[in-house]
């Protein structure tokens, strides 16, 4: 059975998942969505008019998951050396026992795959430079560090102090961000944290910590001096910040959230739950959105974990959604998505990562009148990963942005020919406008695309087949096709209630 089914249901064979669907009342046949109503697409009254026809190039990158442990024998050198020396250490020929030592480390940490070694990081950056040397900015939506980072470090350095571990994490973050900036000197790089980017453990973080203060200085180093200190202060509070994007973007506010605090898996470094930071950050987010509206600014919201349904967890845990069980959610509440919907008149785009897949989402009010709902739609682009940990080919996204309207006009996904970064060719996976015949990545065009998927019960139209093919970068359409009806329901239903209503309308 295909190993990479892990991306839709990582640990299940296709047969077992189909049986799981049937066991919980899902209709997994080509007619599964026959009864799902197809909402009529209408013109969005709040859609901004394009002030200019020209666009600027930008880069969207996510889930780099750089692994400094790929050659375990080199790690002690990295620990001892300043970050400025890391590139020369990492680019040296591999140690004689690299393969065996890395395999042993993988087994010790029960790693599910291989993340991004230096060769792949370097190859991806060179490909970005070759593909888009004139990019005006880069947005990096979190997870710069490898999976199982804590285990890898503690295996190689048993008995080490927490401060030593944090120091190595900060050096790793500094190295990755430094490599991005060295590749594109002078270009704004807007980066956020993911659940792996922590000084104490995956999904663990302390608000107001020394780690956030220091990582904030790393992230903010390349920001305009006039806004840098405020960004550092905000980042030190909770790993989030807001900034007016540099020219040629026109009066556009980028709000970077740290939605680790919104995850149901979040805990402090001591392993305790703490809802206070989530509440504080949501208040801050609402304040930022209100200020943007009052100032007439356009807004991009960038985070790591997207809002909505975690379909993989929902299906793999056999959640009987139609029997009253709730689907598994990416976030603990819908409040961030609710705010993006409430302020959809200023929110031009949401940029997230985390799933490692190439995806879209639409935040749409639940049960609202269709005409009024049109003014409250927010489109989300989920950016695929550089890391090939799930068996996907590494990729990044080249965007075309209208600097006056802040609309994402088009994008291309650029994919690697292999997963190593060695003798790798980077080629165009697809062009959004050409593939889906859309003039813009706007809420209404995303709605139109998803409505087409809804009508397409058997997932066999050209648009659906293209989405299935490109969802997993590397062309494994079979991974998602058995769950197409449930997946489509997750695209435009971000609440548990809305998703359940959609899914259960498909059952016989």
pLDDT tens digits along 329-342: 999 999 999 999 99
Centroid of chain to Cα 425: 24
Where would I find the beta strands (DSSP E) of 192-273?
A: 241-244, 252-256
pLDDT at 507: 55
Nearest residue to 62 (alpha-carbon basis) of 261, 315, 357: 357
The confidence band for 463, taking pLDDT boundaries of 50, 70 and 90, is confident
Across the range 471-493, mean pLDDT stands at 85
Please check the confidence at residue 5 and state whether its pLDDT lies above 50: no
Q: Which of 225, 216, 213, 172 is nearest to 196 (CA)?
A: 172
In this structure, are residues 408 and 299 in contact, taking their beta carbons and an 8 Å threshold? no
Task: Give the pLDDT of residue 371.
Answer: 58
Q: Return d(Cα 297, Cα 374) in angstroms, integer.
A: 20
Query: Quick one: pLDDT at residue 31?
Result: 37
pLDDT score for 208? 96
Roughly how many angstroms between the first and final C-alpha of the chain, as a whole number? 29
Q: Tokens standing for 347?
A: 């929110």
Surface-to-core class of residue 268, CB atoms within 10 Å of its CB (0-12 exposed, 13-18 middle, 19+ buried):
middle
Closest by CA to 300, choosing from 194, 374, 408, 228, is 408
Question: 141-150, 315-324, 462-471 — which is least confidently predicted?
Answer: 462-471
Whether residue 500 contacts residue 486, with contact meaning beta carbons closer than 8 Å, is answered with: no
Q: Which of 115, 139, 112 lies closest to 58, judged by CA?
A: 139
pLDDT(41) > 50 = no
Residue 294: which H helix or E strand, with range?
A: helix 276-295
For residue 43, pLDDT over 80 is answered with no
E strands, 134-225, in order: 138-140, 189-191
Torsional sign, CA 55, 289, 297, 49:
positive
pLDDT at 50 (0 to 100): 42
**Interatomic CA distance for residues 507 and 505, integer angstroms:** 6
Q: Which residue, 41, 49, 91, 48, is CA-closest to 70?
A: 91
pLDDT of residue 407: 98
The span from the CA of 35 to the CA of 2, in Å, is 31
CA 129 to chain centre: 21
Predicted confidence band of residue 11 (pLDDT cuts 50, 70, 90): very low
Average pLDDT value for residue range 405-418? 98
What is the mean predicted confidence (pLDDT) over 127-150? Answer: 98
Task: Look at residues 171, 218, 175, 226 and name the one whose alpha carbon lies nearest to residue 193.
Answer: 218
Q: Which pLDDT does position 36 carry in this prediction?
A: 41
Output the pLDDT for position 3: 39
Which is more confident, 88 or 461? 88
Is residue 506 very low, low, confident or very high in pLDDT (cuts 50, 70, 90)?
Answer: confident
According to DSSP, residue 194 is labeled: -
Q: Rounded to two decimals, what is the model's pTM? A: 0.89
Q: What is the mean pLDDT of residues 410-426?
A: 98
Residue 16 scores a pLDDT above 50: no
pLDDT in tens, 173-185: 999 999 999 999 9
Q: What are the structure tokens assigned to 371, written together? A: 């005409």
CA geometry: angle 102, 108, 110, nearest 5 deg: 100
Question: In the structure, what pLDDT confidence band is assigned to residue 10 with cuts at 50, 70 and 90?
Answer: very low
% the chain with pLDDT above 90: 78
Q: What is the band of 448 on the pLDDT scale with cuts at 50, 70, 90?
A: very high
pLDDT at 455: 72
Query: Position of tokens 């080629």?
Result: 427
What pLDDT score was predicted for residue 479?
72
Instruction: Decide which of 506 and 290 is more confident.
Output: 290
- Residues 336 and 334: their CA atoms lie apart, in Å, by 6
Q: Is the pLDDT of residue 8 over 50?
A: no
Higher pLDDT, 51 or 498: 498
Of 344, 332, 318, the C-alpha closest to 486 is: 318
How far, in whole angstroms, is CA 308 from its chain's centroid?
Answer: 13
């Amino acid at each position: 059975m295909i190993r990479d089914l892990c991306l839709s249901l990582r640990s299940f064979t296709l047969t077992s998942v189909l049986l799981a669907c049937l066991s919980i009342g899902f209709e997994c046949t080509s007619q599964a969505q026959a009864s799902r109503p197809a909402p009529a697409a209408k013109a969005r009254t709040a859609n901004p008019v394009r002030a200019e026809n020209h666009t600027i190039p930008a880069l969207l990158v996510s889930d780099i998951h750089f692994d400094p442990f790929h050659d375990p024998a080199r790690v002690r050198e990295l620990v001892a050396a300043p970050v400025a020396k890391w590139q020369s250490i990492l680019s040296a020929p591999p140690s004689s026992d690299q393969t065996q030592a890395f395999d042993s480390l993988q087994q010790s940490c029960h790693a599910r795959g291989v993340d991004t070694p230096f060769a792949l990081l370097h190859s991806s950056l060179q490909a970005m430079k070759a593909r888009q040397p004139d990019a005006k900015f880069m947005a990096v939506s979190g997870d710069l560090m490898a999976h199982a980072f804590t285990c890898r470090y503690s295996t190689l350095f048993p008995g080490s102090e927490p401060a030593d571990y944090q120091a190595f994490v900060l050096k790793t973050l500094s190295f990755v961000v430094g490599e991005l900036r060295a590749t594109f000197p002078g270009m704004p790089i807007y980066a956020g944290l993911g659940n792996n980017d922590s000084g104490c453990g995956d999904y663990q973080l302390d608000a107001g910590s020394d780690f956030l203060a220091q990582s904030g200085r790393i992230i903010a180093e390349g920001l305009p001096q006039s806004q840098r200190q405020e960004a550092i202060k905000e980042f030190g509070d909770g790993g989030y910040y807001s900034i007016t994007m540099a020219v040629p973007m026109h009066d556009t506010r980028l709000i970077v959230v740290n939605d680790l605090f919104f995850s149901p898996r979040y805990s402090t470094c001591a392993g305790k739950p703490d809802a206070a930071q989530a509440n504080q950050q949501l208040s801050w987010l609402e304040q930022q959105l209100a200020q943007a509206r009052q100032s007439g600014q356009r807004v991009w919201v960038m985070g790591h974990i997207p809002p909505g349904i975690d379909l993989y967890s929902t299906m793999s845990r056999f959640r009987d959604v139609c029997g009253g069980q709730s689907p598994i959610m990416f976030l603990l509440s819908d409040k961030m998505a609710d705010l993006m919907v409430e302020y959809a008149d200023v929110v031009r785009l949401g940029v997230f990562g985390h799933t490692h897949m190439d995806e879209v989402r639409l935040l749409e009010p639940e049960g609202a009148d269709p005409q009024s709902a049109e003014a409250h739609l927010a489109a989300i682009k989920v950016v695929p990963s550089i890391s090939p940990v799930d068996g996907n080919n590494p990729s990044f996204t080249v965007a075309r942005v209208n600097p006056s309207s802040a609309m994402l006009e088009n994008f291309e996904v650029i994919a690697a020919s292999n997963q190593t970064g060695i003798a790798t060719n980077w080629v165009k996976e697809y062009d959004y406008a050409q593939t889906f015949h859309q003039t813009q990545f706007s809420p209404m065009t995303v709605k139109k695309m998803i409505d087409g998927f809804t009508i397409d019960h058997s997932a066999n139209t050209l648009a659906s087949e293209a989405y299935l093919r490109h969802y997993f970068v590397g062309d494994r359409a079979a991974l998602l096709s058995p769950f197409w009806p449930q997946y489509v329901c997750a695209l435009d239903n971000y609440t548990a209630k809305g998703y359940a209503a959609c899914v259960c309308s498909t059952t016989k």
